[in-house]
Amino acid sequence: MTRREWLLSSAGALQAAGQFGFVQKCARDPRYFELSDGTPYIPIGLNLCFERYATGEAEILDRMDRRFLALAANGGNFARIWTGVAFWNPDAPRGGAIDAVRAHRLDALIQSARRHGIRLQMCLEFFRTLNEVPPPFAGANSVGRPEYHVSRGGQLKDMTEYWNSEAGRRLYLYKLDFLSRQYANEPAIFGWELWNEINAVTGTGWEAWTRDMLVELKKRFPRHLAMQSLGGFEYPRDVETYRRFMTMPGNETAQVHRYINPGAKLPVCLGPMDVLAADCVSTVQAYASDKPLLVSEIGAVEANHTAPSVLYERDKNGTLLHDAVFTPFFAGAAGPGQFWHWQDYVEKYDLWRHYGRFAKAVEGLDPRGEQLRPVMIEHPRLRIYALAGRKTWIAWCRDKASSWQTELARGAVPELLRSVEVELPQARLSRIRTYDPWLDRWTPARTRRGRVILPGFRRSIVIRADSMTAEMKGK
């Protein structure tokens, strides 16, 4: 069997095993998702927003299909897509009309996602100015939309006019109306995001525009989630902006973007990946605890997002990805972190397995009935991110002495930790196992006087304890 045949059979089995209802906020615990058919849903995936390097239509569609295939074969069920890039955008260049070729491409993408059991978070727009803007680096998109400018035959002078004028809003709603006619009843759509990082856009009026458009969006897509995103949470000024937007009426899913960024002004963004991820989760959840939270962009960049991080070239094992995937969920988010650099890192070094390792660690876990409570457990050697539930206690343990600074920047080999002990706070739990995500190995745990004795591991390990009731339900 070839690798592609194996991937197809694996993805097909995963799709057949799952249901395909609409994603919605859980009624029993609004911090998590479920499907409209009653199935729990933990979104496992990443940004696959657009093709960076290929240009031919057939090649781009084939590459996206292969990414969905690889993701699904590793337990993935989610991807974020930018519908505003030229290749997918059903809007004609100057707006107010539909480009049939582009619309067909978008439809083919959604059909591919449906085939592989992937639900898509559709980000509707991303541009920041009406000026001509060259891409900042190879594989990046231009953030300008000059076709809307009066100098190119468009209707607008600048972004302020876009946000506030009837003409600007009409351009956006025309596209929204078309997408609603096509996909309002499509369960492969996770939800719709108004704009990527709207606070990075020029002009004034985008906050009031967001309030209005969340209402318009929900009118057109009553069965899908509505949401908005902000730029990287990397500066002190972002605290208040995030609070306003993530508590905004109609914004049904809280999102946060954060990167290791040498140009950031928050010191946490210069430290270990797990620490920066956990910090943004706890900060946003403190004021948006009534809705699911996703770390919908995470990664590492050169100063001020001028390029993907040079750390990727030294991280062929996927240490950064591993930490970014595991931390958010174990810190209390509704799913794992959704990495950004899909082609320059995840695909380049074939790191899809990290999604499969996360999926195995949480297999059978139903956050809705567990009433999971995130807990940080003090330990001299480990940072322990635990989720305490009614019938399950699960923790991801990260070696404090190992990080991207030691392993990637300094070249130090992670130490093999032996016989580390962790105190278990819930002795009533009867089945205790450990899972090494680096070796893909479950091991029955040894215990001593209420402590779990961990097997030898490097970097990180998962501890999972299930009550007998939970264990029987999982069979």
Residue whose token pair is 């239509």: 57
Query: How many angstroms separate the Cα of 416 from the Cα of each of 284, 352, 411, 463?
Result: 35, 24, 15, 17
Could you check whether 3-367 and 376-473 share the same CATH topology?
no
φ, ψ at 129 (rounded to 5°): -155, 165
Q: Specify the pLDDT at position 140.
A: 81
Query: Residues 115-141: what's their mean pLDDT?
Result: 91
Q: The whole model's pTM is what? A: 0.93
> Regarding beta strands 23-25 and 431-436, do their DSSP bridges make them parallel or antiparallel, or are they unpaired?
unpaired
Query: Residues 2-31: what's their mean pLDDT?
Result: 62
- What the block records as the tokens of 273 is 């990946």
State yes or no: pLDDT of 3 exceeds 70. no
Average pLDDT, the chain: 92
Residue spans of the domains in the chain: they are: 3-367, 376-473
pLDDT band at 425 (very low <50, low <70, confident <90, very high): confident
- What the block records as the tokens of 73 is 């074969």
Q: Specify the pLDDT at position 188.
A: 97
Higher per-residue confidence, 431 vs 282: 282
- What the block records as the tokens of 86 is 């030229």
Query: Residues 244-268: what's their mean pLDDT?
Result: 98
Whole-number percent of the chain with pLDDT over 70 = 93
State yes or no: pLDDT of 11 exceeds 60. no
Distance, in Å, from the CA atom of 366 to the CA atom of 42, rounded to the nearest integer, reads 9
Q: Which amino acid is at 64?
A: M
Please give the helix or strand (H or E) that residue 62 lies within, else none: helix 57-73
Query: How many angstroms separate the Cα of 399 from the Cα of each of 281, 322, 416?
Result: 20, 13, 10
Domain with residues 3-367, CATH architecture = Alpha-Beta Barrel (3.20)
pLDDT band at 467 (very low <50, low <70, confident <90, very high): confident
pLDDT band at 264 (very low <50, low <70, confident <90, very high): very high
Q: Is the C-alpha dihedral spanning 133, 54, 77, 233 positive or negative?
A: negative
Distance, in Å, from the CA atom of 289 to the CA atom of 281, rounded to the nearest integer, reads 10
> Regarding beta strands 392-399 and 460-466, do their DSSP bridges make them parallel or antiparallel, or are they unpaired?
antiparallel
Cβ burial of 303 (10 Å; 0-12, 13-18, 19+) is exposed
Beta bridge pairs of residue 254? 293
Cβ burial of 243 (10 Å; 0-12, 13-18, 19+) is middle
Query: How many angstroms separate the Cα of 471 from the Cα of each of 120, 337, 466?
Result: 32, 27, 6
Q: Which amino acid is at 247?
A: T
Domain with residues 376-473, CATH architecture = Sandwich (2.60)
Q: Which long-range contacts (CB under 8 A, 24 or more apart) does 177-184 make?
A: 177/220, 178/90, 178/98, 178/103, 179/83, 179/90, 179/122, 179/124, 179/220, 180/220, 180/221, 182/103, 182/107, 183/110, 183/221, 184/220, 184/221, 184/222, 184/223, 184/224
State yes or no: pLDDT of 367 exceeds 90. yes
Query: Residues 224-233: what's their mean pLDDT?
Result: 98
State yes or no: pLDDT of 5 exceeds 90. no
CB 211 within 8 A of CB 245: no
Residue whose token pair is 């070796």: 439
Q: Is 74 helix (H, G, I), strand (E, B) or coil?
A: coil
DSSP 8-state code for residue 286 = T
Higher per-residue confidence, 2 vs 389: 389
* pLDDT (tens digit per residue) in 36-89: 999 999 999 999 999 999 999 999 999 999 999 999 999 999 999 999 999 999
- What the block records as the tokens of 42 is 């933990």
- Angle, helices 353-361 vs 319-330, to 10°: value is 30
Q: Is 443 helix (H, G, I), strand (E, B) or coil?
A: strand
Please state whether 102 falls in left (phi above 0), alpha (psi between -120 and 50) or beta: alpha
Beta bridge pairs of residue 11? none
Q: Specify the pLDDT at position 426.
A: 59
φ, ψ at 413 (rounded to 5°): -80, 130
